[in-house]
Amino acid sequence: MSRFTARTFTLEQIQEVSEDNGGFCIACGAEAWEVEPDARKYECEVCGEPAVYGADEILIMGLVK
């Protein structure tokens, strides 16, 4: 069971980070860089949660508002 509620992101946010190998932490919302588009459960440098996902993976998960 997750300790957090997954955040959602706008399509514009996803497009911006996807151009530069980025993603987001779905726990705290922080941007993450140098992650693969299909990255899953990378550790967030801001909050420490294993919740960084690549831009493509966030789209697949449906976390776009």
Does the residue 35 lie in any domain?
A: yes
> How many domains are contained in the chain?
1
Q: 0.85 exceeded by the pTM?
A: yes
Does the residue 1 lie in any domain?
A: no
Does the residue 4 lie in any domain?
A: no
pLDDT of residue 5: 87
The three-state DSSP-derived secondary structure of the chain is: CCCCCCCCECHHHHHHHHCCCEEEECCCCCEEECCCCCCCCEECCCCCCEEEEEHHHHHHHCCEC
Does the residue 5 lie in any domain?
A: no
**Confidence class for position 2, pLDDT limits 50, 70, 90:** low
| 9-24: pLDDT as tens digits | 999 999 999 999 999 9
Does the residue 37 lie in any domain?
A: yes
| 30-61: pLDDT as tens digits | 999 999 999 999 999 999 999 999 999 999 99
Q: Give me the domain span that covers residue 52.
A: 11-61
